[in-house]
Every structure is written in C-alpha cells, then in structure tokens.
Amino acid sequence: MITVDFPGSRKLIDAIDASVAQASTPAITDALRNALCRLIRSEEVKLPECVFEMAGDHYARRELYRSDDHGYSVIAMTWGPGQGTLIHDHSGMWCVEGVWAGSLEIVQYELGEHEAERYHFRPVGSIQAGPGSAGSLIPPHEYHTIRNPSEDSVAVSLHIYSGRMTQCAVFKPEGDDWYERTERQLGLDQVH
C-alpha cells in the first residue's frame, strides 16, 4: 500500500520486491543496500517534498509504503539539526538504512552483560554517512544510535524494515556504560 505517490516510487518498490525475493537475510540486505545506493545516486527516485520538512521537537517518521505481499515497510525519516536517537534495537527485524540528504552519524553498540532491565553496552564503531550511502542491521547486531551532526541542515534517510516497526527497545543512559531498557511505541508523522 503506497501512502503517497512520488516520482520513481514504482522503481523503488520493484527494486525492494526483487531484493526481498533473495534466499537469506544477508542476501536480502546486501541486495537492498546495493539497490538503495544505486537509486539514491542516480536520482531516479524523488521522495515527496514533505520528507524534507522537519517535525519540530522530534525526528519525523513517515511511512511511504507497506507491502501487503512481502510484509516490509518503507519509512522516510527527517532529522533536524542535532536530532538523534538513544541506543535502540529494531525488535528483531532486519533493516536497511540509506542516507538521502545531509549526513548522519551512526554508532553501533555491542551488548555485554545485563541484569534485569539494566544493560551494559560498548560502542564498537561509528560512521559518518552521506547521501547515497546505505547500511544494514541484522539481529542480534542491531543496537545503534543515529544522529544528524549538523548544526544547521536537515538530513533525510530511508529505512526499509522486514515488517512494520511499531515499537522498539530504547536504552537510557545510567552512567558507566549501563543503560535502562524501556519499550517505546513508535508513531508516524503525516505524509502529504
């Protein structure tokens, strides 16, 4: 189900459909990463103007497409200057994330020990991703943060999830690399 039509939307959906037909999760995410990089760089797909509009006090999540046949969802995220996430997971789903405009800093974390709802993480790598770059997260290696490092420009990313991501675990810092785990319900901002 397409939420809003935009130039190249069919090309994007066809590329995702072909990728998710692969035999394994690593093959799916590799094919998606390559397709997403190619489509962003070729400028064959023009995202709707609304995804370049900030949502004020939070980064925006706008669903552009949800596949009834394959179950995946396509979410455009708009990051205002300095906006970002806490450490979070993807509720056991794989995800491919591509930077459409601006740049994003992504930090991956490795889970160490945990006690009840307290978790110990350590950063294991970070990247500055610019337009036309894409990466993937496959559980159990899904813990990360995303942040727009710019002080004055908007960043836009496209996220393809294996399903509908309506909640995730978020980890709030307590000090000494310990974090408290909470569940967060994820909303969607309006597409117009």
pLDDT, average across residues 60-64: 97
Name which of 178, 36, 164, 174 is nearest 91 in CA terms: 164
Whether residue 157 is predicted with pLDDT greater than 90 in this model: the reply is: yes
Per-residue pLDDT, 2: 85
Per-residue pLDDT, 56: 85
User: Hey, is 31 helix, strand or coil?
Assistant: helix
Cα gap 185→16, rounded to integer Å: 26
Name which of 64, 132, 45, 69 is nearest 97 in CA terms: 132
All residues at 6 or more sequence positions from 116 whose CB lies less than 8 Å from its CB, including other chains: none
Cα gap 77→128, rounded to integer Å: 17
Percent of the chain with pLDDT over 90: 93
Percent of the chain with pLDDT over 70: 100
Q: Per-residue confidence at 6, pLDDT binned at 50, 70, 90?
A: very high
Given a contact cutoff of 8 angstroms between Cβ atoms, the answer to whether 74 and 156 are in contact is: no
pLDDT, average across residues 63-92: 97
Phi and psi for 89 in degrees, rounded to 5? -115, -175
Whether residue 192 is predicted with pLDDT greater than 90 in this model: the reply is: no
- 106-153 residue pLDDT tens: 999 999 999 988 999 999 999 999 999 999 999 998 999 999 999 999
Average pLDDT, the chain: 96
Per-residue pLDDT, 149: 98
Per-residue pLDDT, 3: 87
Whether residue 13 is predicted with pLDDT greater than 90 in this model: the reply is: yes
DSSP summary character for residue 66: E
Whether residue 23 is predicted with pLDDT greater than 90 in this model: the reply is: yes
| pTM for the whole structure | 0.95
